[in-house]
Amino acid sequence: MQVFKVQGMSCGHCVRAVTQAVQAHDQAAEVQVDLAAGEVRVATRLAEEQVLEAIREEGYQAEPA
């Protein structure tokens, strides 16, 4: 399980955008978003940098937690 701190998420749309961004690169990825904590947990075969890039492409600031 990879954990990332993500800034800029504030609503259900943000949750869907981040989830879909990661799953576009790995359909089997499990994505859990905690808006209050600003955290995204991802179970995926993708490398950490690939997940970060997918999230950043959606316009969010992301870094490993």
DSSP letter, residue 12: H
Task: Please report how many Cα atoms fall inside a 13 Å half-sphere around the Cα of residue 27, on the Cβ side.
Answer: 0
Q: What digits encode the pLDDT tens for the residues 24-55? A: 999 999 999 999 999 999 999 999 999 999 99
Q: What digits encode the pLDDT tens for the residues 1-13? A: 999 999 999 999 9
pLDDT at 64: 98
Torsion of CA 57, 47, 62, 40, to 10 degrees: 110
Structural domains in the chain plus CATH codes: 2-64 (3.30.70.100)
Beta bridge partner(s), residue 42:
2, 31
pTM: 0.92
